[in-house]
Chain A
Amino acid sequence: MTKLLQQSAGLQVREGGRGEPLAFLYKGRERKLGQVLMTWRISQEWWKRPVERDYFRVSTEDGAVCELYRDLLSGTWHLQRIYD
């Protein structure tokens, strides 16, 4: 089971030198990331709803796994999914 966040609010993310996430602020606490498990990009055709996103499936230092994405059009980070 995963918790899919339908309308994820903007997320404060500390980035590394290559733009990869190192830590993010969630519910008032900084979660440091352990490992980037997977990355991929989603681009959707402009005639639907223009979307350009870089996805990161990451594990945090306390063992949780979640998916973050950076919206390339706005430059903001979002939390999309949290795995149980």
Chain B
Amino acid sequence: MRVACLSFPHFAVQVEERDNRDLPGKPVIIGGFHYEAKAVYDVSEEAAACGVSPGVPLRQAYTLCPHGLYLPFDDEKYDKAFTHLLGLLAGYSPKIESGAPAYALLDLAYEPDEARFIQEIAERIWKAAHFHMSAGVASSRFAARVASQAAGSSRSLIIPQGEERRFLEGLPVDLLPASPELIRRLELLGIREIGKLMDLPCEAVELQFGAEGRRVWEMANCIDSTGLRTWTEPQLLEEELRFEPAVDSLDLLLAGADKLLDRLSRKLEKRWQYCRRLTVSLRFSNDHIVQRAFYFKEATASRVPMLSRLKHCFEQAGFTAPVSEMRLTLTDFCSEEGKQSSFLGKPSKHKERLWSAIHVLQQKHGRTAVKRAVPRRNARLPEEAFSFTLIDPQER
């Protein structure tokens, strides 16, 4: 297997720079306005030079970079831009896999000239979408991902077949996509480089760290037999409404939402589908953006439960400015059988539905909310019979 990993560093900043040609070269900070109690999502290199990094509170970022350009976080816009990119890449390889944050893996099994191929893709993406990327090519997903990070902006690094172990052996173990606890334990045992982990017997690592240990050992040794998952363009239904003039009355806002939901539910009925997720995006007259996703335990096509969730949300929220634009998006579609009552109906779809449920719970409560229970051998106490490990979306 030969895999190319294309990474798009500072993707959110690149999207904003694409939409506003005055931004390149300026310290851009995305996450919200400097007085908001939120965290930084992404920064441009100029802002990073001032010491601002993702995750820092915006108020702290303002003390580090008072002259920065603070922009609201528009998740939907970045999602759309990345989906467009994946659509472009799908024209180059039948098998592509998307990953977060903003990277894509391409199958290069039938590509004889990898360097030329990467160069061609980089040029095409720049012409069509104005995005910079870095690329890494190797014989496993993990090695390709690390190579793309090591390559640096707008460059590529191709690891020849069989050279992956040499490339990875000197790198720190914290590059492995493992739980912080596993990395901490590896370091306590003096295993600080990937090369040291490679040299251990797989059975010993599995005995000490369980299934997660086996997975990281296989990654370190570039054992990657699962193949790439084929990306398919996500389906969504979207409706938007501009308020002119902007509205600040709850009744007008709900009337607008009702109108949009009516259109959306008619579309769903025509498709004989149900949805599990509704996203509302509000743009205020002071340019603030608020987005909120609602997940339905039972998939629905009716506007009544959707409107009820929106009404509750609008009533709870204290709007600081009139709303100038509202966008509603429906995603996570399923047919009638996706309803909760038939969750365990067909064995062939158990895994698919389980992953869908995991995805919904992780979106709603965070990545650490759902854990895998791994049986522990030789545990004598019932409460120690299982250990709980984080679920990696890549295992899907």
Contacts and interface: CB of A to CB of B under 8 A. Distances in A.
Contacts of A67: 382
A51 interface: yes
Interface in B372-396: 380-383, 385
A5 B381 CA distance: 12
Shortest Cβ-Cβ A-B pairs, 6 listed: A6-B383, A80-B382, A42-B380, A4-B382, A44-B380, A81-B382
Interface of A: 4-8, 42, 44, 51, 67, 80-81
A67 B382 CA distance: 10
16 contacts: A4-B382, A4-B383, A4-B385, A5-B383, A6-B383, A7-B383, A8-B383, A42-B380, A42-B381, A44-B380, A44-B381, A51-B381, A67-B382, A80-B382, A80-B383, A81-B382
A67 B385 CA distance: 15
A73 to B, nearest CB: 13
The range of chain B's interface size is: under 10
Contacts of B380: 42, 44
A5 B383 CA distance: 7
Nearest to B386: A4
Interface in B340-396: 380-383, 385
A51 B383 CA distance: 12
A6 B381 CA distance: 10
Contacts of B381: 42, 44, 51
User: In this complex, which of A6, A7, A8, A67 has the most chain B Cβ atoms within 10 angstroms of its Cβ?
Assistant: A6
A73 B354 CA distance: 42
Contacts of B382: 4, 67, 80-81
A7 B383 CA distance: 8
A80 B381 CA distance: 10
